[in-house]
Structure 1
């Protein structure tokens, strides 16, 4: 079984971006991401309503890192520390050598290849550094932009689960994509 250790926190660089630790100083950006109905459209979680809610979310991210149960990064442009989005391994399954990747990006940055570049870098981090065997992504079947990112990154559709989650008074479908180490 794998043992994860995110101390020291791994700052990751891509061609255009720095993936860095999210801190309380990022509360406004996290609030903007998590309170935006467009950003949260395909994420079945309640919208953040206050900066206190955003701080609680940052605290939850930090707790998972400290406990080595998950890791998230703020996506920033090189030379600009402001967060454009969040990406990470939300659910680690060390016993299965598997992790679930997830990401979100402010709407004004959609369609610019940012998430694709970040996902490709996290794939190599997951396989090379964390020693994962597989990475999965669980998306809403209507989230065509996310599906396109996953396909560009060579993920394969494994399943379409009908009405697999109950949220906000309705049953939601989920689609699972995965990538095996090559």
Structure 2
């Protein structure tokens, strides 16, 4: 069973991203502010968007991740994405990632989308631990995961090399038992 699980919330449908979504993805992933902490340079071409979509498809096919397109109910346009990557199945652990088109910031959309995928991750994918690696200057993402009861566990110094520089990352984690107690 390798069907793509569509998730629905009050305002959102989280669905599979296809090549037909390339224009939408190019639009928000070409924005410097959206890409500031994404680990890639802002996209320039439709080929950049196709490459990102290919990555989404490959992590699903390889069972190392899953990425949902965030859409508003009744509108098909992808306005962001969220999901899991670097799944380590033998340890029941994964990392979470998310981004949203700037025009939808501050409306609680990322919050709502994360609620859905975190619940899916613990209930359906049987994760024990969901991690979030966040650059120290990225305060909005830190606030969002802290609101979801993620705990900051430490600082990973010079952990990633992206966009020509080494980045420190805070390690956050949410454990299954903490999720079900809240």
Could you state the TM-score of these two structures normalised by the residue count of structure 1? Answer: 0.93
- 2-structure distance, mates of 1:63, 1:163: 27
Per-residue CA distance 1:7-33 (angstroms, 9 max, x = gap): 211000111100000011100111112
Runs of 4+ aligned structure 1 residues displaced above 4 Å come to none
- 1:39 is paired with a residue whose SS is helix
Please, which of 128, 147, 151 is the counterpart of residue 133 of structure 1?
A: 128
Q: 1:115 pairs with 104, 107, 110, which one?
A: 110
Bigger helix fraction: 2
- Secondary structure of 1:80's partner? coil
Contiguous gaps of at least 5 residues in structure 1: none
- Deviation of 1:167 (Å): 2.7
What displacement does 1:63 show?
A: 1.7
Equivalent-residue separation in structure 1 for 2:96 and 2:43 (angstroms)? 21
Runs (5+) with no aligned partner, structure 2:
178-182
Post-superposition offset of 1:48 = 1.9
SS at match of 1:61: helix
CA-based RMSD of the aligned residues comes to: 1.2
Match of 2:140 in 1: 145
Deviations 1:114-155 (A, max 9, x none): 111111111110010000001001111111110111011110
CA distance in 2, matches of 1:68, 1:171: 28
Shift of 1:163: 2.1
Which range moved further: 102-111 or 30-39? Answer: 30-39
Counterpart in the other structure of 2:55: 60
8 A Cα contact 2:154 2:172, kept in partner: yes
Does the alignment pair 1:25 with 2:30?
A: no
Aligned residue in 2 for 1:171: 166
Q: Is 38-47 or 95-104 further displaced after alignment? A: 38-47
- Alpha-carbon shift at residue 45 of structure 1 (Å): 1.6
Q: Which whole-Å CA distance do the structure 2 matches of 1:39 and 1:45 have between them?
A: 10
**Residues matched between the structures, number:** 177
Question: Displacement, 1:165?
Answer: 2.1
State the shift of 1:162 in Å: 2.2
SS of equivalent to 1:176: strand
Query: 1:30 and 1:138, CA in 2 relative to 1: closer, same or farther beyond 3 A?
Result: same
Residues 166 and 63 of structure 1: CA distance in aligned 2, closer, same or farther (over 3 Å): closer
